[in-house]
Amino acid sequence: MREVLQKYKRELDEMVEVCIRDGQLGYGASVGGNLSYRVEENLVLITPTKTPKRKITADMICAVDMEGNVLYAPEGKKP
């Protein structure tokens, strides 16, 4: 699954930028809500739960299918 995340490096970097910017601007709760990005018909990149958005890095982002099945989640993280 790591290969898929490498394929979407640009999208992951965009997600990190949005999370950091939102945190700097004070939008939303620090750990409230998730940011998701649909990159394929059945593949969604999503920030992990209970993680401060301003501290998100690309390697923390999870991948799920459209049914919500976890395809990738770093150790200790879940979408």
Summarize pLDDT for 13-62 with one digit per residue, the tens: 999 999 988 888 877 666 678 899 999 999 999 999 988 888 899 999 99
Contacts of 4 (CB under 8 A, 6+ apart): 43, 63, 71, 72
Q: Please give the model's pTM, rounded to 2 decimal places.
A: 0.88
Q: How high is the pLDDT of residue 22?
A: 85
Residue 40, H or E segment: strand 36-40
Give the separation between CA 74 and CA 22, rounded to whole angstroms.
23
User: What stretches of the chain show up as alpha helix (H) in DSSP?
Assistant: 2-7, 9-25
Q: How high is the pLDDT of residue 24?
A: 81
Q: How high is the pLDDT of residue 5?
A: 73
